[in-house]
């Protein structure tokens, strides 16, 4: 019947839109309109499906946006987060539900009461991180509380990375989009709870605050703190926990290379005054390190060891001086004061090989112009750290709970390893796109009804979404170990 048709407005035609359309259009009553400022992208996605149309849209123009929203039953917004207020305004005016994968912004939070009074569901943070991480966590939290247990410690880790078989560069990382946001995040400060004390990490120390995470017997990654973990304690109903940590996962070596790039000045958002006079990365790095006058006595790798490292890597004489200066600058940081000589030498060797791979000593590695050091560096990363058509990405996630059951402690791990489809859908697209699509469908079906601005931490939300994700091959595996208390 014509009246049963459901119209879904999908704003944005980027990385995730195909997975969302794929899920939504499995239901024959659904019709999708993809609206984007990039018409060719919207067309390319829409032509893969039946009942899917496309149009060009300037989302900042309410005269263009509002009529599309009014004709829809629900809006899924995949535009950049800073554009969501325009969508928010149109959805409130037209009284339409709204789904996003983005963090709740102050503008979104401020719309809660109006959305609630109009009976509108504004469901956010419905991707992988944030999204699946919230839902998998709350599933276990609610189970533990219902059975009378107490969560003493919580550790949450997530990362989007190349699949292990396609991890073929020194950084162990690849980008499917502009890297500047991800690199900029490495200059953030962080906060977490450890042994009942709030630990605050200044931005200068973030990339040094790294520990290993053993996902399983075959895979150990490294983790760095993910911004402010403390604000999630009450949200996750874990008041009373002594430790609470949320971290970002990377392959080993990534943090070393990025913090060293920071030490020599490549993450600075200040203009490169001499960019017009240099053409290669070799010239830029030589100028960059020449600006700095570190005290060699402050370097935690002595001159003899540095010489040995540089010779083992095999630098030409003209590059050896620059390589030595890089080591002096990078390894004078106070965070290396307790690092063993063996580890320092291993790290220095890895670093120089990585910088050479990036082209820092190569006259033929040309510079892509940019306004700041960060922009120039990110342009290089975008060139070098790229997925090939036959390569796959991966999503790794793990939550670790220490639970007090009275007579025993339980260490419960909830782990997700999702490998993308080579040449097809990426793991990132699947784990972001499917939760968003599922959430939208459940709102359309009247199964998620709580009005107002929310994230998926209520059982009404996470339980059906996790069930459908599992039916589509996206599931976290739970394992437990028990430590029994001795009887007195």
Q: Which two tokens stand for residue 360?
A: 């820092």
Please name which of 340, 400, 467, 419 lies closest in space to residue 140, comparing C-alpha atoms: 400
Please state at what angle helix 459-471 crosses helix 427-444, rounded to 10 degrees. Answer: 130
Dihedral sign for Cα 479, 248, 182, 75, please.
Answer: positive
Q: Determine the Cα–Cα distance for residues 90 and 63; give it in Å rounded to an integer.
A: 10
Give the per-residue SS3 of 401-465: EEEECCCEEEEEEEEEEEECCCCCCCHHHHHHHHHHHHHHHHHHCCCCCCCEEECCCCHHHHHHH
Please name which of 231, 249, 277, 235 lies closest in space to residue 156, comparing C-alpha atoms: 249
Is position 129 annotated as part of the catalytic site? Answer: yes
Q: Determine the Cα–Cα distance for residues 188 and 262; give it in Å rounded to an integer.
A: 12
Residue 100: strand pairing partners: 77
Of residues 129, 166, 324, 393, which has the active-site annotation? 129
> Using the 8-state DSSP alphabet, how is residue 56 labeled?
E
Residue entry with tokens 């995949």: 78
Alpha carbon of 204 to those of 190, 201, 224, 245, 258: distances in Å?
10, 8, 13, 19, 12
Q: Determine the Cα–Cα distance for residues 257 and 169; give it in Å rounded to an integer.
A: 12
- The torsion defined by the Cα of 59, 61, 62 and 64, in degrees rounded to 10, comes to -80
Please name which of 383, 331, 338 lies closest in space to residue 357, comparing C-alpha atoms: 383
Alpha carbon of 303 to those of 295, 328, 338, 345: distances in Å?
12, 9, 18, 12
Catalytic sites, residue numbers: 129
């Amino acid at each position: 019947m014509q009246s049963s048709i459901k119209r879904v407005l999908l704003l944005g035609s980027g990385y995730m839109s195909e997975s969302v359309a794929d899920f939504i259009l499995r239901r024959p009553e659904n019709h999708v309109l993809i609206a984007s400022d990039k018409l060719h992208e919207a067309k390319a996605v829409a032509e893969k499906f039946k009942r899917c149309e496309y149009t060009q849209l300037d989302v900042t123009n309410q005269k263009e946006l509002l009529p599309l929203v009014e004709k829809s039953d629900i809006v899924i917004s995949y535009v950049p987060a800073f554009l969501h207020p325009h969508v928010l305004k149109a959805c409130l005016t037209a009284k339409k539900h709204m789904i996003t994968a983005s963090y709740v912004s102050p503008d979104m939070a401020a719309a809660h009461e109006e959305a609630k009074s109009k009976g509108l569901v504004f469901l956010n943070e419905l991707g992988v991180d944030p999204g699946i991480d919230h839902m998998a966590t709350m599933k276990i939290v609610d189970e533990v509380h219902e059975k009378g247990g107490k969560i003493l410690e919580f550790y949450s880790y997530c990362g989007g990375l190349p699949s292990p078989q396609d991890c073929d560069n020194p950084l162990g990382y690849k980008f499917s989009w502009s890297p500047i946001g991800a690199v900029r995040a490495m200059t953030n400060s962080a906060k977490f709870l450890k042994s009942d004390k709030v630990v605050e990490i200044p931005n200068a120390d973030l990339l040094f605050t790294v520990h290993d995470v053993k996902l399983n017997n075959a895979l150990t990654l490294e983790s760095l703190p993910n911004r402010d973990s403390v604000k999630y304690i009450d949200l996750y109903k874990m008041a009373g926990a002594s430790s609470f940590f949320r971290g970002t996962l990377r392959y080993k070596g990534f943090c070393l290379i990025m913090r060293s790039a920071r030490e020599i000045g490549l993450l600075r958002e200040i203009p490169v005054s001499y960019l017009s006079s240099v053409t290669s990365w070799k010239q830029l790095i030589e100028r960059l390190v020449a600006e700095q006058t570190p005290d060699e006595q402050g370097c935690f790798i002595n001159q003899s060891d540095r010489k040995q490292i540089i010779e083992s890597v095999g630098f030409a004489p003209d590059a050896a001086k620059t390589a030595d200066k890089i080591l002096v600058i990078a390894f004078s940081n106070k965070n290396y004061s307790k690092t063993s000589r063996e580890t320092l030498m291993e790290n220095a060797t890895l670093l120089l090989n990585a910088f050479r791979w990036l082209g820092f000593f190569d006259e033929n590695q040309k510079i892509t112009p940019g306004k700041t050091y960060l922009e120039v560096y990110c342009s290089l990363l975008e060139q070098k750290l790229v997925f090939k058509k036959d390569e796959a990405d991966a999503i790794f996630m793990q939550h670790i709970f220490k639970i007090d059951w009275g007579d025993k402690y339980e260490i419960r791990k909830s782990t997700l390893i999702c490998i993308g489809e080579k040449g097809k859908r990426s793991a990132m697209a699947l784990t972001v796109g499917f939760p968003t699509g599922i959430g939208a469908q459940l709102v359309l079906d009247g199964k998620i009804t709580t009005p107002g601005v929310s994230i998926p931490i209520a059982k009404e939300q996470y339980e059906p979404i996790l069930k459908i994700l599992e039916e589509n091959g996206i599931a976290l595996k739970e394992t437990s170990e028990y430590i029994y208390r001795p009887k007195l």
